[in-house]
Amino acid sequence: MISLTIDGREIQVPRGTTLLTACRQAGADIPTLCYDPDLRLAGSCRMCVVEVKGRRNLVAGCVTPAENNMVVETESPDVVESRKIILELLLARHKLTCHTCESDGSCKLQDYCYRYGVTDSRFTGEFHDGPHFSKEDANPFIKRDYDKCIMCTRCVRACEEITGAQAINVMNRGHHAKIATIFDGNLEDSPCVFCGQCIMVCPVGALTSKVAAGKGKSYQTEKVLTTCTYCGTGCTLELNVKDDKVVGVTSVRDENWSPVNRGALCVKGRFGWDFINSSDRLTTPLIRENGELRPASWDEALDFTAAKIKEIKGEHGPDSLAMFSSARVTNEENYLAQKLMRAAIGTNNVDHCARL
Ligand code: FES
C-alpha cells in the first residue's frame, strides 16, 4: 500500500492504483469524458486533470499512477481553469442543441459545462456539415451526429474490446478527424452487428438509438430492471417506460445488478422491443369454451389448468403429460418448469423450444 494526500485528506491505496481511482476513493468528484472503466485507457480528453505538488504540469488522473507521498489537489484554480478551457474547446465543434437532443439530461458535456459555468466558446471551431462528414446512415438502429461527437473514442474501443466487431475507427486528423467505418461507408456495409454498445458508452448525444428517438428523454422515463427475453443468456437490461409504454431499452452496467452481461446487449435486446406495445399481443389468459376463446383472469386460468392436469394424471397417469418450455423465459423459470413436471407431476417429459 502507498499513502498520499488528496485535497488535504490522507488515504492509502494499493500500489498501481491510478490517481483517478485514488481521488475518487478520497471522495473527490473528478470529471471524465474519455475514461470508461470497462475500456482500455485513452488519456485523450484531459478532463480528469489534477494538480500534483512539485509537478510542473497538471496530470491526467486516469492514466497517472498514484505514488507514495503525493500531494494532490483536485479543484485548484489551475485545474478548474484547465477544465473550463477543455470544455470551451469541445464546444467549439459541438452544436448546442440540448433542447432537442436525445441525451439531454444524460450528457456528460452538458453536466460539466453546467458545473463549471461554461456557456459558450471563445474559440471558433468547424462544424461538420461539410463534405467530409456524411450525416445520414441508412441503418435502422444507430444515429451518429458528427456535430456532437467529442472524439473521446469510447465507441471505437467498445466496438473492438466489448463486441469484437472493429467496425469503426478514427479517420483523418485535425478538424477533419471523425469516427468512420472502413472507406467511410455505411454501418450496414461494415462488420457492425448493431449491438449498440457504442450508444451505451457515448458520453454525449453523438450516438443515439433511432428506435427510441423522440419517445422520451432519460429523465422523463422510469427505468424498470428486467431480464431480456430473447435467449437463455439472461442479460440484464432496463426498460424505459413512459405513460405505461416501453419507449426504449438501456444498459445496466453495474456488475452487481448485471452480472451476466455488464451492460452489453445484442441488437435484439437493445433495439427489438417494439413488439411489447403491439396491439396484437395477448395481455390476458384465454379459455376456450364451446370452440370460442374468452378472456379469463390469471386465477381462473391457473385453477382451470391445475384441475385439468390433475384430471388427466388421475385418468391416464403422469406420463400422459408433458411440459414444453421456452427459450424466452429465464433459466430460473425453465428450472421451475422441469421441477414442476419431475417433482410435482412425476414425469420426465420435459422439452424446450430451443432444441430445434
Ligand atoms: Fe482522463 Fe479523458 S478522462 S484523459
* Nearest residue to 6 via CA among 72, 75, 50: 72
- Ligand 1-lining residues (CB < 6 angstroms): 32-35, 43-48, 60, 62
Residue 266 alpha carbon to ligand 1 centre in Å: 28
Nearest ligand 1 atom, CA 35: 3
Q: Residues of the chain with pLDDT > 70: what percent?
A: 97
Cα distance between residue 45 and residue 31, in whole Å: 10
List b or e across 115-139, with b for residues whose CB sees 16 or more CB atoms inside 10 angstroms. eeebeebeeebeebeeebbeeebeb
Q: What is the chain's alpha carbon radius of gyration, rounded to the nearest angstrom?
A: 26
- The pLDDT of residue 157 is 98
The mean pLDDT of 338-353, rounded to a whole number, is 94
Please give the single-letter amino acid code of residue 98: C
Cα distance between residue 211 and residue 140, in whole Å: 7
- The pLDDT of residue 124 is 80
Q: Under DSSP, is residue 50 helix (H, G, I), strand (E, B) or coil?
A: strand
pLDDT tens-place string over residues 28-69: 999 999 999 999 999 999 999 999 999 999 999 999 999 999
Grid coordinates given for 57: 504540469
Q: Under DSSP, is residue 9 helix (H, G, I), strand (E, B) or coil?
A: strand
The mean pLDDT of 253-277, rounded to a whole number, is 94
Residue 152 alpha carbon to ligand 1 centre in Å: 9
- Report the residue among 36, 48, 108, 201 best suited for mutation to probe ligand 1: largest number of ligand atoms under 8 A from its CB: 48
Confidence of residue 135 (pLDDT cuts 50, 70, 90): low
pLDDT tens-place string over residues 72-111: 999 999 999 999 999 999 998 888 889 999 999 999 999 9
- pLDDT at residue 145 above 80? yes
Residue 43 alpha carbon to ligand 1 centre in Å: 5
The CATH superfamily assigned to 218-277 is: ADC-like domains (2.20.25.90)
Cα distance between residue 20 and residue 47, in whole Å: 11
Check: CB of residue 33 under 8 Å from CB of residue 45.
yes
Cα distance between residue 161 and residue 191, in whole Å: 14
- The pLDDT of residue 207 is 96
Q: Residues of the chain with pLDDT > 90: what percent?
A: 81
Which CATH code of 3.10.580.10, 3.30.70.20, 3.40.50.720, 3.30.2130.10 fits the domain covering 123-209?
3.30.70.20
Nearest ligand 1 atom, CA 48: 1
Confidence of residue 330 (pLDDT cuts 50, 70, 90): confident
The mean pLDDT of 224-244, rounded to a whole number, is 92
Confidence of residue 123 (pLDDT cuts 50, 70, 90): confident
The mean pLDDT of 306-314, rounded to a whole number, is 96
- The pLDDT of residue 119 is 93
Grid coordinates given for 90: 469541445
Range of weakest confidence among 120-129, 273-282, 334-343: 120-129
C-alpha 87, offset from chain centre: 24
Q: Under DSSP, is residue 173 helix (H, G, I), strand (E, B) or coil?
A: coil
C-alpha 340, offset from chain centre: 36
- The pLDDT of residue 88 is 95
Check: CB of residue 11 under 8 Å from CB of residue 74.
no
The mean pLDDT of 267-282, rounded to a whole number, is 92
Assigned fold of 286-355: Rossmann fold (3.40.50)
Q: Report the mean per-residue pLDDT for the chain.
A: 93
- pLDDT at residue 131 above 60? no
Cα distance between residue 187 and residue 323, in whole Å: 43
Cα distance between residue 216 and residue 254, in whole Å: 23
Q: What pTM was estimated for this model as a whole?
A: 0.86
* β-bridge mates for residue 227, sequence order: 236
Assigned fold of 2-75: Ubiquitin-like (UB roll) (3.10.20)
Q: How many CB atoms are closer than 10 A to CB 285?
A: 17
Confidence of residue 130 (pLDDT cuts 50, 70, 90): low
DSSP code per residue over 88-152: HHHHTTS---GGG-TTTTS-HHHHHHHHHT--S-SS----S-STT-------SSEEE-TTT----
The mean pLDDT of 152-156, rounded to a whole number, is 98
Domain regions of the chain by residue span: 2-75, 123-209, 218-277, 286-355
